[in-house]
C-alpha cells in the first residue's frame, strides 16, 4: 500500500511539473488588467477581442493558418513518399537514409535557421510564404516519416501480394490497399506537421519577413516589446487548438479501430 501511494504521489507531481506553466498562463488570458501579472483584478474577454481585432494579431493568426496548411500538405506528401520508398528492401543504406530523414529533429534549430536563410536567399525566397513553408517542412517531415513508417510496418505484405494477384496494378494496390491501411499514420503525421509549424519560432525568425509574421513569432516579439495579456489569450488559443486536434486524432483512431 505505501508503495502504491508513493507511485501515485510521484506520478501526480510529475504531471503537475509538466502542466504547471500552462496553469500559470491560462487564467491571465481572462484578466481585465493591461499587464501580464497576478493578481487578476477582474475577469474580461478584452484580450481575445484584441487578438481577433487588432491588426497585428489577426494577421499573425491568418499567417499561421496559411503557413501551417502549406507545411502540412507539403510535409505529408513528402514524408509519406519517403516512407513508401524506404519500404523497398533493395535500397542500399536503408538505415542510414532513414536516419538522415530524422536528422532535422536533433539538429539545433539555430544551425538549421542560419543554413536555411543562406540557402533561401540564394533562391530569392526569403521574406516569402514559400520560404517559410519550405523551412517549416524541413522540421515537420521527420514527424510524418516516423508516423507513416510505423503504420506501413503494420501492413501484412501478403495483403498487397493478394491484391496484385487479384488483378490490381501497382497504382491500384497503392490506392485501394496500401494508402487506406496507412491512413491513420498519414493523418496523425499531418496533425503533427501542422502542430510543428504552428509552434515553430526559431526558423521563422531567420527566414520570415514582416509580412509572414506567424502567431508564435508575434507572441515572441510582443513579449519583448510590451508584456500584454494578449499573449496569454494567444496561448489559450494554442492550447485549445492543440487539445481539439488531439481529441480528433484519438477519436478517429478509435473509430478506425472499431471498423477493423
Which residues in this chain contact another protein in the complex, by CB under 8 A? 156, 158-159, 161-170, 172, 176-177, 180-181, 259-260
Nearer to another protein, 146 or 173 (CB): 173
Nearer to another protein, 131 or 185 (CB): 185
Nearer to another protein, 16 or 153 (CB): 153
- For residue 121, what are the CA distances in angstroms to 70, 192, 202, 254? 20, 28, 17, 45
| Minimum CB–partner distance for residue 154 and another protein (Å) | 10
Nearer to another protein, 224 or 259 (CB): 259
3-class DSSP string for 88-154: CCCCCCHHHHHHHHHHHHHCCHHHHHHHHHHHHHHCCCCCCHHHHHHHHHHHHHHHHHHHHHHHHHC
| Minimum CB–partner distance for residue 171 and another protein (Å) | 10
- CA-CA distance, 1 to 51, in Å (whole number)? 50
Q: Is the peptide bond before 254 cis (omega within 30 degrees of 0)?
A: no
Task: Name the residue among 151, 138, 134, 140 with its Cα closest to residue 84.
Answer: 151
| Minimum CB–partner distance for residue 167 and another protein (Å) | 4
Going by the DSSP 8-state scheme, the letter that residue 232 receives in this structure is H
Note the Cα 131 to chain centre separation in Å: 17
- Beta-ladder partners of 43: 31
| Minimum CB–partner distance for residue 184 and another protein (Å) | 10
Nearer to another protein, 22 or 161 (CB): 161
| Minimum CB–partner distance for residue 176 and another protein (Å) | 7
Nearer to another protein, 124 or 180 (CB): 180
| Minimum CB–partner distance for residue 151 and another protein (Å) | 12
Task: Name the residue among 129, 132, 138, 66 with its Cα closest to residue 102.
Answer: 138
Amino acid at each position: 500500500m505505501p508503495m502504491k501511494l508513493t507511485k501515485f504521489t510521484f506520478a501526480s507531481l510529475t504531471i503537475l511539473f509538466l502542466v504547471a506553466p500552462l496553469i500559470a498562463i491560462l487564467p491571465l488570458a481572462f484578466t481585465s488588467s493591461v499587464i501580464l501579472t497576478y493578481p487578476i483584478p477582474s475577469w474580461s474577454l478584452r484580450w481575445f477581442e484584441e487578438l481577433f481585432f487588432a491588426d497585428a494579431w489577426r494577421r499573425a493568426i491568418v499567417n499561421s493558418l496559411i503557413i501551417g496548411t502549406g507545411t502540412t500538405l507539403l510535409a505529408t506528401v513528402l514524408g509519406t513518399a519517403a516512407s513508401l520508398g524506404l519500404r523497398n528492401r533493395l535500397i542500399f543504406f536503408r538505415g542510414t537514409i532513414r536516419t538522415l530523414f530524422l536528422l532535422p529533429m536533433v539538429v539545433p534549430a539555430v544551425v538549421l535557421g542560419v543554413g536555411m536563410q543562406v540557402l533561401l536567399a540564394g533562391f530569392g525566397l526569403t521574406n516569402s510564404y514559400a520560404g517559410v513553408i519550405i523551412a517549416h517542412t524541413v522540421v515537420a517531415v521527420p514527424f510524418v516519416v516516423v508516423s507513416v513508417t510505423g503504420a506501413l510496418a503494420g501492413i501484412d505484405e501478403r495483403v498487397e501480394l493478394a491484391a496484385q494477384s487479384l488483378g490490381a496494378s501497382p497504382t491500384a494496390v497503392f490506392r485501394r490497399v496500401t494508402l487506406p491501411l496507412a491512413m491513420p499514420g498519414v493523418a496523425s503525421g499531418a496533425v503533427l506537421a501542422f502542430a510543428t509549424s504552428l509552434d515553430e519560432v526559431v526558423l521563422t525568425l531567420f527566414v520570415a519577413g514582416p509580412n509572414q509574421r506567424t502567431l508564435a513569432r508575434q507572441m515572441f516579439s510582443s513579449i519583448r516589446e510590451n508584456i500584454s495579456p494578449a499573449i496569454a489569450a494567444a496561448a489559450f488559443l494554442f492550447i485549445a487548438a492543440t487539445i481539439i486536434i488531439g481529441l480528433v486524432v484519438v477519436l478517429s483512431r478509435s473509430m478506425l479501430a472499431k471498423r477493423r
